[in-house]
Amino acid sequence: MIAVHAAVLPLAAGDSSGLMYAGLGTLGLGLLVLLVLAVPRERRLTTEERVVQYAARAAAGMPSGGAPIPPPTADDSPLQSAKSAAANVLKRNKGLETKIAQRLDGAGSSWRPAEWLLMHAGVFLGVSILGLLIGGGNLVIGLIFIAIGAIGPWFYLSFKRNRRKKKFERQLPDTLQLMSGSLAAGLSLAQSVDTIVRDGAEPVTSEFRKVLVETRLGLSLETALQGVADRFQSKDFEWVVMAINIQRQVGGNLAELLSTVAGTMREREYIRRQVAALAAEGKLSALVLGGLPPAFLGYLLLANREYVMVLFTRTLGIFMLVGGSVILGVGALWMNKIVKVEV
């Protein structure tokens, strides 16, 4: 009986190890295929891309007889096939495609939703393999890394979008003041926008360049400016667009109006910075208290793995991890609500 039990234990361990290596091999094969598909190849330009190139050339002031658009090439590359498959997936879910496109536009990325979906899949596979290698096949560690691979790219995109939005709103008062000066000098609103494109700084320059391109393609100036406000979801710029629309309807001195709006935004930014300075200590405390437990757990996994692996291998340890994570999450949300002040 003892001999049979001793023979079964190595077999079970061998089966578990075989399953782990089979999973690693499958994930590795999927990542390898994705990397092969990501090799850049020449492809045929779509009609949309030709229009974008023509509009960009027109916005840059290049003559129509400039450098020709690249000739069409074969588009049967694996990368193009993968992009087409991703585009077909997004076509079945228009809400997801719209959400990805809005976040990419807000972050100032030139990627398309299908390309972002492929990159997201590659990051997910890579982080999942890393989690299996670090955890040695442990289910809890594997799930943690899988969650990081699934959510991490979205957080990164949101971070870039928020950082670009803040930079845009910091530059907005100076931009409005420059527009006001241009209007007071006798230029039209479209010419003042062109002045911003030539003399402004990023990201205002690129966004106003899009406004000029869209107006040359047939959109009204007010609609193009509203598109900027929608991409950034900026209440400040929505006020600017609303002020321009009201002035167009009832008349008035637009230069003086924009100057007044710029002054109001400067005052709000001043108050915003004062509030941020007063709340900085609380935000730092919340960051330290929220980040210290997972950071220390990661250190223990690297420094003394056997000591901390009890939390991942026993039922009581798993319950302790889940309970601690829930309590930590509630505390982090609570501290965030306390130190966050809307201006």
pLDDT at 47: 52
- Answer with the residue of higher pLDDT: 289 or 1: 289
Token pair of 336 as six digits: 């965030």
What does the block give as tokens for 181?
A: 């000066």
Tell me which residue of 241, 236, 231 sits closest to 268, measured CA to CA.
Answer: 236
Start-to-end CA span in the chain (Å): 74
What single DSSP character describes residue 314? S
pLDDT given at position 76 = 47
**pLDDT tens readout for residues 328-341:** 888 888 888 887 77
The whole-chain average pLDDT of the chain stands at: 75
What are the tens digits of pLDDT across the range 44-54?
555 555 555 55
pLDDT for the residue numbered 5:
43
pLDDT digits (tens, 9 = 90+) for 192-211: 888 888 887 888 888 888 88
User: For 144-169, what is the mean pLDDT?
Assistant: 86
- Give yes or no for residue 38 having a pLDDT over 50: no
Give dist(CA 301, CA 25) in Å, integer: 24
- Please say if the pLDDT value at position 156 is more than 60: yes
Where does the pLDDT of residue 74 fall: very low under 50, low under 70, confident under 90, or very high at 90 and above? Answer: very low
Q: What is the pLDDT of residue 40?
A: 45
Identify which has the larger pLDDT, 86 or 173: 173
pLDDT of residue 51: 56
DSSP codes, 41-77:
---PPPHHHHHHHHHHHHHTT--TTSSPPPPP----S
Q: What is the pLDDT of residue 278?
A: 84
Q: Assess contact for 49 and 110: CB atoms under 8 A.
A: no
The three-class DSSP label of residue 138 is: coil
The predicted-structure confidence for 75-125, as pLDDT tens digits, reads as follows 445 555 555 655 555 566 666 667 777 778 777 777 777 777 778 888 888
Where is average pLDDT lowest: 23-27, 297-301, 311-315, 322-326?
23-27
pLDDT bin (cut points 50, 70, 90) of residue 42 is very low
Is 254's pLDDT higher than 50? yes
23 has pLDDT over 60: no
40 neighbors 77 (Cβ within 8 angstroms): no
